[in-house]
Structure 1
Amino acid sequence: MDPVIIVGAGPVGLALTLALARRNVPVILLDEGTGDERRPARTAVLRPDTAAALARLTGPDAFGDRNWTGWRTMRRRQSVCEVAFASPGTVPQDGADGPVPAPLHLAQHELTRALRAQLALLARPELVTLATGNRVDSLEQDGSGVSVRTRGAGGTWWRGSYLVGCDGPRSTVRKLLGVRFPGRTAVERHAVAALRTELPWPGEALLHRSPPWRAADAEITARPLPHGIWRLDWLLPPGRELVTPDALLARIDDTLTGWCGDPAPGYELLDTGVHTIHHRLALRWRVNRAFLAGDAAHLLGALGTQGLDEGLRDVGNLAWKLALAWHQGPADADLLLDSYQAERRTAVSARLRAADRALPSVRSAGGWSSVRRTVLPGAARGHDALLTDGQLGRGPLGAPPVYDRTPLALPDPPEGSVTVGTAIGAPAADVAVTAPDGSVTRLRDRLGGDLLVVLVAPGTGVWERRHWLRAGLMPRLSAAVTALPVAAELLITEEYPGAAPHTVLLVRPDGYLVAALSGVRPDELQACADAVRGGGSAQGARKAGRDAEAAAGR
């Protein structure tokens, strides 16, 4: 088959290119820029699940220690919430007591540089053709592929099996496909500065609501970066206030004085800007053999939501499906590829609805006033908790989505299904697992390739591998995994939240739980794996897909 064409070499386009190439899918990456932009104030905060997905692509040491040590939420002069994050090298369980996983905060140019470096290290570099300085001009589709014409130094026609538009908010691909992009403009505006200085909370991120020294700014956020650099964001009041250089410097001076006392500490100003947040959602994410991902498909960012988080989740969802369709052929791939829109558009739509519902009380004129003149203290505390959850990747504004209406599921739970601590369609818990070769790692480290079949077998760790591979359920389970219609890897775990011994879990390549079965059930395991690849009970699966799209408001 022809290569997959990806338009746009930002973080989402580069991550998708690398994910496909790792699956031996050839890619043509088209970009009208050169990839040389460097903006210290343009940074990204990644939740633990997307940070782990990025680490699988770039290697765990690509960014050094970019994690925060803690989070602090303040209102006026009072600290209302403090969260301690896990120290580097520890792997806390999501939702467990004690330190929680830290977000990853890094400059976007560092992220793109690391992804490009990994592309250069591919075992088969011929899998990727990178064409910079090429602007997409026209697009044609037929029954076997997509043709794209570009203009620029190397402008020509390109032929691909599939096309993914990762070309940002003004996506040319989206426009050429005739896909509408409705939504709201200028939901929030922030003045932004990147500066090198010393703050009283080294390593901690801070959300400061109603700072007492500022009459105009209802909220300030400080996020640390390495080498003493901080990104500061000031939420601007509604309207079209012009942020002049003098006004921004006054904000910096007032903020540093308010936090550190008079005289304010010295600082080195590295970059500034005004960040305007829009909320938009493309009506279609798939048009025949063409797809949209990242900012080309959705824009969000109010109340702490993170657009790049959702873009990388797009990558995790689409990459394994495109690779499976590319390797196995398009004959039965329609349901599999349709599931990308059904799952991801539904998830992002729910995120946008959650933010839009909260915005009137938190950010509207009345809500803005209540930030400073708290008539209902309980409401203010609720706003603090909501914003903290949004910033930390928890709750409706930040937690990973649950694909509970995926079309890649059987219409009814298979016989022998059991309940575990993870809902079907939710991200699997990151437990310690043992591979058949005896290596011990984390479940998240095994994602991104084949399906995972995980047997819960307490006490395995005290047995020599040569014994437990031939004992109990293992021979039958190994045979069942080998017979599955798609490639799968068999893993063992000592325990899984809420799971009884001998529970068998089926996990998708992007980490979502497909099924939990009591014991070895080859027929049921095969039916679930078949549904995951878009086969099997197509009628029930298609109904689930229609229900998911209806729920998304399509």
Structure 2
Amino acid sequence: MDPVIIVGAGPVGLALSLALAAQDVPSVVLDESAGKEEPRPARTVVLRADMAALLERLGCATLRDEGVRWVGWRSMRRRQQTRHVRLDLGLGAGAGDGDTEDLAGEPAGPAAPLHVTQHALARGLRDAIARQDLITLVAESRVDTIEQDAHGVSAHTRGPDGTWWRGSHLVGCDGARSTVRKLLGIRFPGRTAVERHAVAALRTELPWAGEALLHRQPPWRGAGDEISARPLPDGLWRIDWLLPPRGELVTPDALVTRIRDTLAGWCEGVTPPYDLIDTGVYTVHHRLARRWRVDRVLLAGDAAHLLGAVGTQGLDEGLRDVDNLAWKLAYSWHHRDVSPVLLDSYQSERRAAVAGLLRAADQALPVLRGGGGLRTILPGGGRSHDVLLTDGHLGRGPLGALPAYPHSPLAPEPAEGRIPVGTPDGGPVEDVRVTAPDGTTVRLRDRLGQGRLLVLLVAPGTGVWDRRHWVSAGVMPRLAEAVDTLPAPAELLVTESYPGAPAHAVLLVRPDGHLAAAFAGVRPEELHAAADAVRGGSAPSEEEPVLGDPAMEAGRPA
């Protein structure tokens, strides 16, 4: 069968190829560039814990070597101009005479965001691809034509020896100026220049080792309204200064002045020694493609959405596209009797999730940048500006909460045996310790991304009982038989406990780690129906159309 064609070799396209390979699906990655990553320390990404775990499962080893998981997060707001600043390295505040600053510390933990340079991330993904036989990476290949029919997609790449590529599906991961999106005639509406930031990567020593800082309204002249500092390996820091949305160009001299004044403001009024490694100015746009799927062609990452204001992270959301799409694409590749609902759900789930983030950012911006009243604009408006911003950076609250898909087309119908647990239907499951029938004990997150449904039995005591006894006792044999007859590949796991779940509860988890349903005990018929819903239900008959959107017919470029 033809491979999946992936257009674009940024982190999203590279990760998608690896996620498909993990499910035995071959792919061809068409890379417009020469295939080399230019080191740019000022170009970095922030990954929440679950997406960092996804990349590690895909074999990206550089996260362990070159990523920094924050020791803590410090939010600081200065109300008055003073000469000196002294930071307490605990959770309290300390300052010079006359200071009235608020410091809020966030504890460290395994869920702390991971900060890594984008070139190191891409290099790690390319190294993982080099160990894969199912991925073909083709440099200097720019797509200029896409054609598709009921059986596959053809893409033509420009060059002296123009080449046609044939694939089962094509995914455009080719960035904000996506050629794939333009060839499909898909609109990309939104807002331009929502935020602008000056950025510097420098080597220096700051008073808080390993902590990220969000500083609101610093007192020194020319600092702007907001500065953030994030640690990188080898003593490097990335510092961002929020700029006016449509201000003047930032000259090198002006940027050096910002650096010196900021370092002095954080270090008792004296600028410490520093080495300036890299600089840049980046502009945040908010855009959302009208459609993410036209029959066998799909969009992911920046080709489908742009975001990034007030702490939201664009690449993190692009990787969530990968996590959501890969198992659906793999199932469609391996099985002929697939309902179009399965791939349609990619757009309905992910587009709704990103639209929610964009709405939250649009609601927050007048409050954070214009001084409006929190209570009149945002739910839970009693929270401070700093807490709202911190939530976005740490991946929680309306600006950063993990996505849930409660209204997904794949959501199972209500059933008598369904029960609520600590995770809402459609939400990401907790990373509890689990035991497989072969006796292997791992984290639940380690079993994701393999294209299988996960059936999780909550069985207190299994951790201390000999496996030979409990694997053939109680409800286990009946549940194992039910799992073997599910309409989609599934793996049976056991856990001592799960938040909010009673003993003998059975959880059905999607391959991307979202809860499909929870049941009170073993209910084979209801479990079977829920698993069928997760795979999109029954395939259409031969008389029915099989393409995802008949309005576009064959999905050729407009």
Deviates more, 1:152-161 or 1:20-29: 152-161
1:47-86 correspondence to structure 2 within 5 Å: 47-58=48-59, 62-64=63-65, 66-76=68-78, 78-86=101-109
Q: Cα distance, 1:237 vs. partner?
A: 2.0
Residue 150 of structure 2 aligns with which residue? 143
CA deviation string 1:505-537 (max 9, x = no partner): 000010000010011111111101111111159
Partners in 2 of 1:58 and 1:39 — Cα distance?
22
SS at match of 1:363: helix
Mapping for residues 140-539 of structure 1, pairs under 5 Å: 140-152=147-159, 155-329=162-336, 331-364=337-370, 366=371, 382-410=384-412, 412-449=413-450, 450-536=452-538
Q: 1:241 to 1:58 in 2, by over 3 A?
A: same
Q: Is the 8 A contact 2:311 2:392 kept in 1?
A: yes
Rounded to whole Å, the distance in 2 between the matches of 1:18 and 1:5 is 13
Q: Is the 8 A contact 1:182 1:282 kept in 2?
A: yes
Q: How well do the aligned residues superpose, as a CA RMSD in angstroms?
A: 1.9
- Residue identity in the other structure for 1:363: R
* Aligned match of 1:118: 128
8 Å contact 2:391–2:399 — kept in the other structure? yes
Contact 1:454-1:491 within 8 A present in 2 as well: yes
Which shifted more, 58-67 or 34-43?
Answer: 58-67
Q: Distance in 2 between matches of 1:250 and 1:60?
A: 37
Rate the CA distance shift 1:21–1:229 in 2: closer, same or farther, 3 A: same
Match of 1:10 in 2: 10
- Residue by residue over 1:334-383, the C-alpha shift from the partner in whole angstroms, topping out at 9 and shown as x without a partner, is 1100000000000000110010011112123x55xx99xxxxxx989621
Contact 2:201 2:279 in 1 (8 A): yes
Three-state SS of the structure 2 residue aligned to 1:433 is strand
Comparing 134-143 and 211-220, the one that deviates more: 211-220
Q: What letter is aligned with 1:511?
A: G
Provide the secondary structure at the position in 2 that maps to 1:384.
helix
TM-score, normalised relative to structure 1: 0.90
Q: Distance in 1 between matches of 2:449 and 2:129?
A: 16
SS of 2:144 mapped into structure 1: strand
Q: Give the match for residue 21 of structure 2.
A: 21
**1:59–1:299 CA distance, 2 compared to 1 (3 A):** closer
SS in 2 for 1:246: helix
TM-superposition CA deviations, 1:240-297 (whole Å, max 9, x none): 2210000000000000000012431111111100010000000000001000000000
Shift of 1:66: 1.7
Segment of structure 1 superposing worse, 470-479 or 257-266: 257-266
1:95 match:
none
Is the counterpart of residue 37 in structure 1 residue 38 in structure 2? Answer: yes
Find the counterpart in structure 2 of residue 107 from structure 1: 117
Give the drift of 1:63.
Answer: 2.5
Whether the 8 Å CA contact 1:473–1:520 is kept in 2: the answer is yes
Distance in 2, matches of 1:58 and 1:4, equals 20
| TM superposition shift of 1:468 | 0.8
The residue type equivalent to 1:419 in the other structure is: P
Contact 2:9-2:173 within 8 A present in 1 as well: yes
Cα distance, 1:216 vs structure 2: 4.8
Could you report, residue by residue, the CA deviation over 1:410-432 in whole angstroms, capped at 9, with x for unpaired residues? 3x312200111110000011111
CA distance in 2, matches of 1:348, 1:264: 41
Q: State the 1:44 CA deviation.
A: 0.3
Distance 1:248 1:128 in 2: 43
Give deviations 1:106-130, integer Å, cap 9, x for gaps. Answer: 00011111111111122xx1x1111
Deviations 1:302-345 (A, max 9, x none): 0000001110000000000000000002x433110000000000
Separation in 2 of the partners of 1:266 and 1:418? 60
In structure 2, C-alpha distance between the alignment counterparts of 1:201 and 1:533, rounded to whole Å: 48
The answer to whether the 8 Å contact 2:340/2:539 transfers is no
8 Å CA contact 2:60, 2:125 repeated in 1: no
* Distance in structure 2 (CA, Å) of the matches to 1:492 and 1:530: 22
| Aligned-partner Cα distance in 1 for 2:383–2:502 | 39
> For residues 155 and 223 of structure 1, what CA distance do their matches in structure 2 show?
45
2:5·2:27 contact (CA, 8 Å) conserved in 1? yes
The answer (yes or no) to whether the contact 2:223–2:258 under 8 Å persists in 1 is no
Does the residue aligned with 2:367 lie in a helix, a strand or coil? helix
1:239 match: secondary structure: coil
Partner secondary structure for residue 283 of structure 1: coil
1:67 to partner: Cα distance: 0.6
SS in 2 for 1:462: coil
Which runs of at least 4 in structure 1 moved beyond 6 Å after TM superposition?
none
Q: Counterpart amino acid of 1:347?
A: A
Q: TM-score, normalised by structure 2?
A: 0.89
Structure 2 CA distance, aligned partners of 1:107 and 1:311?
A: 16
Give 1:443 shift: 0.7
Q: CA deviation at 1:148?
A: 0.6
Deviates more, 1:154-163 or 1:463-472: 154-163
Larger helix share, 1 or 2: 1
- Conservation of the 8 A alpha-carbon contact between 1:134 and 1:154: no
In structure 2, the residue matched to 1:541 is none
What is the CA–CA distance in structure 2 between the aligned matches of 1:269 and 1:62, rounded to whole Å? 24
Structure 1 residues 509 and 60, CA gap change in structure 2 (3 angstroms): farther
Count of matched residue pairs = 513
What is the CA–CA distance in structure 2 between the aligned matches of 1:497 and 1:223, rounded to whole Å?
33
Unaligned stretches of 5+ residues in structure 1: 92-100, 372-377, 539-544, 547-554
Do the aligned residues in 1 keep the contact of 2:60 with 2:121 (CA within 8 Å)?
Answer: no
Q: CA deviation at 1:204?
A: 0.1
CA distance in 2, matches of 1:155, 1:305: 40
